Chain A
Amino acid sequence: MYQFNYHKPSTLTEATSRMVEAEEGAYLSGGMTLIPTLKQRLAAPSDVIDLSGLPGMSGISIDGDIVSIGAMTRHAEVAASDAIPALAELAGGIGDAHVRNRGTLGGSIANSDPAADYPAAIVALDSTVRTSIGPIAGGDFFTGLFETALREGEIVTSVDFRIPDAAAYEKFPNPASRYAVVGVMVARCGDAVCVGVTGAGPYAFRATALEEALAADFSPGAVDGVAVDSSDFNADIHASAEYRAHLVGVLTKRAVARLG
């Protein structure tokens, strides 16, 4: 680990000013990515700005059909919540107990790791990411590999999820890291069907061809024959793009089957 200046601001304004002032700043939320990266000397920020002192950033509240989850809420807390069962199941499958007790919703989505679980829910559920600047629609949040719509210094403060009629998350874990090789969240809201996919591509996306097929016929069989375009999919020693595309179909069917 290289040396850096450590800050623990107590207001959002102070946090963003520290970031703007820093030569090369990094926000620290749960630290599940940043800390290992620092330890391996793969990152050398001049300033680390710890967000754990910001008030009102943690917790789960429900208002009508909107579930609002603070950005600093730990995965374990989401996993224990019955507000959106599919989201709880997703959170309960992230990492291990240590990670779930440290890692946060905001930290996860701000990182836009292509293999993270939460992004599938952000795009599949009708969500709004709230930040220090303003709201960003969940569907617009992820813009690339480790890239989001967040602007310089912008901090995720919470995420609003509209409670779906039904939803299910199916994950195919990487055997080594247990990150998602592919994760699929299928959600129904009225007549609409949303299929959010993580792991397969450079960032989380909605599989629109599958959504259309399922909107017409919400059954596992409807997935058969729907082509999943894998042209920009990830490929590594664990799974080729072709296999990932296949898994998108398999996991979608399984999620649909669970939703009956």
Chain B
Amino acid sequence: MATETGIGASVKRKEDARFITGAGRYTDDVGQHGQTYAVFARSPYARARLNGLDTSAALATDGVVAVFTGADLQASEVGDLPCGWMVKSKDGSDMVQPPHPPLAVSSVNYVGEPYAVVIGETLDAAKNGAEALDPDFEELEAVVDLATAAGADQIHESVPNNQCYDWELGDKAATDAAFAQAHHVASIDIVNNRLIPNAIEPRAALGEYDEASGTYTLHTTSQNPHLERLVLAAFVNIAPEARLRVISPDVGGGFGSKIFVYAEETAVIWAAGQLRRPVKWRAERSESFLADAHGRDHVTHAELAVAQDGRFLGLRVQNKANMGAYLSTFASSVPTYLYGTLMAGQYKTPAIYVEVQSLFTNTAPVDAYRGAGRPEATYIVERLVETAAREMGIDPAELRRRNFIQPADFPYETPVALTYDTGDYEASLNRALDHADYAGFQARREASEQAGKKRGIGFSCYIEACGLAPSQVAISLGAGVGLFEVGEVRVDVTGSVTVVTGSHSHGQSHETTFAQIISDKLGVPFENVTVLHGDTGRSDYALGTYGSRSLAVGGSAIIKATDKIIAKGKKIAAHMLEANEDQVEFEDGSFNVADSNQSLTFGEVAFSAYVPANYPLEDLEPGLSEKAFYDPPNFTYPAGAHICEVEVDPDTGVVTIEKFVAVDDFGHVINPMIVEGQVHGGLAQGIGQALLEHGVYDDTGQLLSGSYMDYTMPRADDLPSFTVDTTVTPCTHNPLGVKGCGEAGAIGSTAAVMNAVTDALGVKDVPMPATSETVWRALRNGGNG
């Protein structure tokens, strides 16, 4: 049903009124009677032994309720924070996982690592108590540099060479053989800079214990409350899942950083049980910088073997990935199954071999951040392709065209374990070239030169694997959880609809998008559909939101449940209209008997289901409420073409983005306005990585970019007005034909920007972020200036 609120309509967001007017309800807005406040004592050292901790002065501080140390948690058999994905090394051995107690016990391994929590009657009292703690630290030399971490001091007793695993993917022999045939080999050495996520709402938690029922309730800023509950129940040993409820109310952004189960909410919920009082914690921004899981941080050497005619023959990647000091919840999967598997990109490269060594350092843990492995993979592939094009004197758009997987090739099995279902890469590229006025670039470059500036253009034809994922595939590759989703459609007595989804919205607008789907499918007015999410007490076990999976997986579950509603509605309607069930059709909100004028509205059927006067109770249960689990048969493969045009001021090194074009294929689009917003946000983060953002530690492991004074978040005036467009090849294996749009902007854009910057400068590489000084130095040291 195509309406102004159905599928394909740019409906204004249901969420906006409350967010804009300050009526949103975030974790920190939730308060309980008798609430106490938690403050975490954090390591000032990147690496130190904790030889003792005197808590007496803290306990004697006015208003301090309790002090808990790592030893207290250990004595209470609070479990370690686990990593949920087992990656195996080349030799078949399991990855090495160091102990990760929520609060450090005898050693600290990054600046900001919590080693005690002080609970106060007020926040100030808790802060005063934390300052009164007297830890006996013995500072050790920190391991900070990823490139040399394997040969540095051993950080964890159980982890030789600081190596978590040494993983491989692909056919080494075939790839070596391909390189032996190469006419040209393009190679690059890349540092993929560390990023700090910076959701606008800092992490927070409110733990409660109800003595009457023996039940725990945790409000927290999680992208996946069920996973949080699973870990706290099964690994941390707080309580069985049935006595532990996790609620993620409104959450202000996540970008991956709120997938993970952290020390703070673990300590808060445990302390609430110990104290029999609610315990509240909210991170200050400086804590977010220090102790939220960071993103990216790779050092990579990669080579592309190319035939004389420009065909790609083989790709070889040697990567070192920084895990930080401990394994965060999904850290191990990011530089492996979300990275190596994407190395085919949009191309028919026949032989690919990827090696990844994951290493520990005395820095904050690194885990999934918007795109999670796929931006890093795209960066390698697309920088290499551009490098090869320049070195071989082939137009970079043309070189890509010669290697694209063609529409007729789908389904296409890559040499790195994925099977792409559909796509039309050339269609996206051609559309992007039009928008970018590629033909006019030379003239613009000359005009810039006349003005004493340098202009460059760069491409990025990315692919991503989204809609995580077939459970059995993921589990066979080491995942500790399934990756299905649940959706429940409850039709109310009067025909309004309540949808309960296991997906979680922290900016994605599920309340709008999912209501559009229901409105479209059931013919129910958009405003009569309410979407509930983020509460383990409301929905069945589900996996939450990350990897651009909400619509492709969560939306598919809702469609399955909706199909069940329609099927049952037909039975009810057939009875009421005295027709055969197979004669009843459902269209535009009406159940109609074929070849007759007999018809019932959806509301009439719903009412009958709950007030079953004329209803086949002997054959059919009353009520109209259905639930479905959906496990996707494959990943989805959003792809697109990004083109960036920059101008560089050679006097200062300042890079200005003159034009940015993103043409993406997300399959069918439910709400184009929301999708465009998602793309804009992703582009800002991808461009931020290229030009602005950098998580920097000094040699002793102190975080130098620990506030907005030094960590450059992209702002509106750093960005151009984007040109955003879509092409459509519907996903072949989910009911909506959708692929996911949440991460594409961050995955595709970074390489496009850096290809443009290096094109402008006439250099092979510039390290990210391409700050003004970096660019100025590149020009002085060998650019075409």
Chain A interface (Cβ < 8 Å from any Cβ of B):
1, 40-41, 172, 174-177, 179, 236-240, 243, 246-247, 250
Chain B residue nearest to A244 (CB atoms) is: B773
Query: Measured between alpha carbons, how far is A174 from B718 in the docked complex, in Å?
Result: 12
User: Closest chain B residue to A40 by CB distance?
Assistant: B286
Instruction: Give every chain A residue within 8 A of B694 (Cβ-Cβ).
Output: 237
For B651, B704, B713, the residue with the greatest tally of chain A CB atoms inside 10 Å of its CB is: B651
User: Are A176 and B710 interface neighbours, CB within 8 A?
Assistant: yes
User: Could you tell me how many residues of chain B have their Cβ less than 8 Å away from some Cβ of chain A?
Assistant: 23
**Cβ–Cβ contact A238 & B127, under 8 A:** no
- Judged by a CB distance under 8 angstroms, whether B652 is at the interface is yes
Residues on the B chain within 8 Å of A236, using CB: 704, 710
* Inter-chain pairs besides A172-B652, A175-B772, A177-B710, 18 sampled, C-beta below 8 Å: A40-B286, A41-B127, A172-B772, A175-B718, A176-B708, A176-B710, A176-B711, A236-B710, A237-B696, A237-B704, A238-B710, A239-B772, A239-B773, A243-B772, A243-B773, A243-B776, A243-B777, A247-B652
Question: Any chain A CB within 8 A of the CB of B692?
Answer: yes
Q: Are A246 and B776 in contact (CB under 8 A)?
A: yes
CA distance A240 to B771 in the complex (A): 12
With most chain A CB atoms within 10 A of its CB, the pick from B127, B286, B652, B713 is: B652
What's the minimum C-beta distance from B282 to chain A, rounded to whole angstroms? 14
- The complex places the Cα of A246 from the Cα of B772 at a distance, in Å, of 12
- Chain B hits for A176, CB < 8 A: 692, 708-713
Give me 26 A-to-B residue pairs in the complex whose CB atoms sit less than 8 angstroms apart, sorted by A's number: A41-B127, A41-B131, A172-B652, A175-B712, A175-B718, A175-B771, A175-B772, A176-B708, A176-B709, A176-B710, A176-B712, A176-B713, A177-B710, A236-B704, A236-B710, A237-B694, A237-B696, A237-B704, A237-B705, A238-B710, A239-B772, A239-B773, A243-B772, A243-B773, A247-B652, A250-B652
3 nearest A-B pairs in the assembled complex, by CB-CB distance: A176-B712, A177-B709, A243-B773
Q: How many Å from the CB of A97 to the closest CB on chain B?
A: 13
Chain B, residues 689-715, CB within 8 Å of chain A (1/0): the string is 000101010000000110011111100
Inter-subunit contact A238/B711 (CB<8 Å)? no
CB nearest to B711 among chain A residues? A176
Contacts of A1 in B (CB 8 A): 124
Near A by CB (< 8 A), chain B positions 96-155 give 124, 127, 131
A174 to chain B: which residues have CB within 8 Å?
709
- Asked whether A237 lies within 8 Å of B652 as measured between CB atoms, the reply is no
Q: Does B708 lie within 8 Å of A238, measured CB to CB?
A: no
Q: Interface digits, B673-698 against A, CB 8 Å rule (1 contact, 0 not)?
A: 00000000000000000001010100
A7 to B712, CA, bound (A): 37
- Which residues from A are CB-within-8-Å of B776? 243, 246
Q: Which residues of chain B have C-beta atoms less than 8 A from A246's C-beta?
A: 776
Contact (A240, B773) CB under 8 Å given A41-B127, A250-B652? yes
Residue of A nearest to B714 (CB): A175
In the bound complex, how far is the Cα of B131 from the Cα of A1, in angstroms?
13
Chain B positions 554-604 with a Cβ under 8 Å from a chain A Cβ: none
Shortest Cβ gap from A51 to chain B (Å): 25
Task: Tell me how far the C-beta of A29 lies from the nearest C-beta in chain B, rounded to whole angstroms.
Answer: 20
Considering only CB atoms, which chain A residue lies closest to B694 in the complex?
A237
Q: Give bound CA distance, A177 to B773, whole Å.
A: 16
Q: List the B side residues contacting A172 at CB < 8 Å.
A: 652, 772
The reply to whether A237 and B127 form a contact with Cβ atoms under 8 Å apart is: no
Q: Which residue of B lies closest to A254 (CB)?
A: B651
**Cα separation A238 to B710 with both chains bound (whole Å):** 8
Q: Are B652 and A177 closer than 8 Å at their CB atoms?
A: no
Complex CA–CA separation, A99 to B762 (angstroms): 41
State in angstroms the CA–CA spacing of A176 and B694 once bound together. 11
Query: How far, in Å, is A99 (CB) from chain B's closest CB?
Result: 13
Docked pose: A160 CA to B692 CA in angstroms: 39
**Do B651 and A250 have beta carbons less than 8 Å apart?**
yes
Q: How far is the CB of A6 from chain B (nearest CB, A)?
A: 16
Q: How far is the CB of B776 from chain A (nearest CB, A)?
A: 6
A-side contacts of B704, CB under 8 Å: 236-237
Give B107 Cβ to nearest chain A Cβ, in Å: 27
Residue on B nearest A176 in the bound complex, by CB: B712
Chain B residues with CB under 8 Å of A237's CB are 694, 696, 704-705, 710
Asked whether A238 lies within 8 Å of B286 as measured between CB atoms, the reply is no
CB distance from A37 to the nearest CB of B (A): 12
* Residues in chain A near residue B652, CB distance under 8 A: 172, 247, 250
By beta carbon, the residue of chain B nearest A250 is B651
Q: Is the CB of A175 within 8 A of B692?
A: yes
A240 to chain B, nearest CB (A): 7
Name which of A172, A175, A177 has the most chain B CB atoms within 10 A of its CB. A175
**Residue of chain A at shortest CB distance from B705:** A237
CB-CB < 8 A to A247: which residues of B?
652
List residues of chain A with CB within 8 A of the CB of B651: 250
Q: What chain B residues lie within 8 Å of A177 (beta carbons)?
A: 708-710
With a cutoff of 8 Å between Cβ atoms, the chain A residues found around residue B712 in the complex are 175-176
CB of A7 to closest CB in B, whole Å:
21
CB distance from A226 to the nearest CB of B (A): 15
A72 to chain B, nearest CB (A): 25
* Chain A nearest Cβ from B620, distance in angstroms: 63
CB neighbours of B711 from chain A (8 A): 176
> A175's closest neighbor in chain B, by CB?
B712
Q: Are A238 and B771 in contact (CB under 8 A)?
A: yes
Minimum Cβ distance to chain A for residue B39 (Å): 11
- Which residues from A are CB-within-8-Å of B692? 175-176
Chain A residues near B124: list those with CB within 8 A.
1
- A234 nearest CB across to chain B (Å): 13
Say yes or no: A238 contacts B713, CB within 8 Å: no
Give the Cβ gap from B112 to chain A, nearest Cβ, in Å.
15
Cβ-closest chain A residue relative to B284: A40
Min CB–CB distance A153 → chain B (angstroms): 29
- With both chains docked as a complex, state the minimum distance between the C-beta of B429 and any C-beta of chain A, in angstroms: 32
User: Nearest CB to that of B773 among chain A residues?
Assistant: A243
Q: How far is B127's CA from A179's CA once the two chains are assembled, in angstroms?
A: 30
A258 to nearest B CB, angstroms?
A: 15
Return the CB mask of B307-320 against A: 1 if under 8 Å, else 0. 00000000000000
Q: Give Cα A236 to B776, complex, Å.
A: 16
Bound complex: CA of A243 vs CA of B651, how far in Å? 11
**What's the least CB distance linking A182 to chain B, in Å?**
10
A243–B775 Cα gap in the complex (Å)? 11
Scan residues 7-41 of chain B and give those whose CB is less than 8 A from a CB of chain A: none
Residues of A within 8 A of B718 (CB): 175
Write out the residue numbers on chain A whose beta carbons fall within 8 Å of the beta carbon of B773.
238-240, 243
CA distance A176 to B286 in the complex (A): 15
Q: Please name all residues of chain A whose beta carbon is closer than 8 Å to the beta carbon of B713 when the two chains form the complex.
A: 176
Residues in B neighbouring A250, C-beta threshold 8 A: 651-652
Q: A residues within 8 A CB of B705?
A: 237
Distance in angstroms between the alpha carbons of A212 and B493 in the assembled complex: 87
Note all chain A residues with C-beta closer than 8 A to B127: 41
Shortest CB-to-CB span from B402 to chain A, Å, is 39
Q: Write the nearest CB–CB distance from B109 to chain A, whole angstroms.
A: 23
The smallest beta-carbon distance between A114 and chain B, in angstroms, is 13
- Which A residues are CB-close (under 8 A) to B777? 243
Scan residues 711-753 of chain B and give those whose CB is less than 8 A from a CB of chain A: 711-713, 718
Residue-wise interface mask of B (757-785) relative to A, using a CB-CB cutoff of 8 A (1 in contact, 0 not): 00000000000000111001100000000
Residues of B within 8 A of A179 (CB): 709
Docked Cα-Cα span, A8 to B651, in Å, equals 49
A218 to B311, CA, bound (A): 58
Least Cβ distance of B651 to chain A in Å? 5
With both chains docked as a complex, state the minimum distance between the C-beta of B136 and any C-beta of chain A, in angstroms: 23
A240→B124 CA distance, assembly (Å): 39
The closest CB in chain A to the CB of B649 belongs to: A250
Give Cα A237 to B705, complex, Å. Answer: 8
A172 to B704, CA, bound (A): 21
CB distance from B722 to the nearest CB of A (A): 20
Bound together, the chains give a CA A191 to CA B614 distance in angstroms of 102
* A238 to B133 alpha-carbon distance, docked (Å): 35
Most B CB atoms within 10 A — which of A172, A179, A238? A238
Least CB distance, A52 to chain B, in whole angstroms = 25
Tell me how far the C-beta of A154 lies from the nearest C-beta in chain B, rounded to whole angstroms: 28
How close is A32's CB to chain B, nearest CB, in angstroms?
13
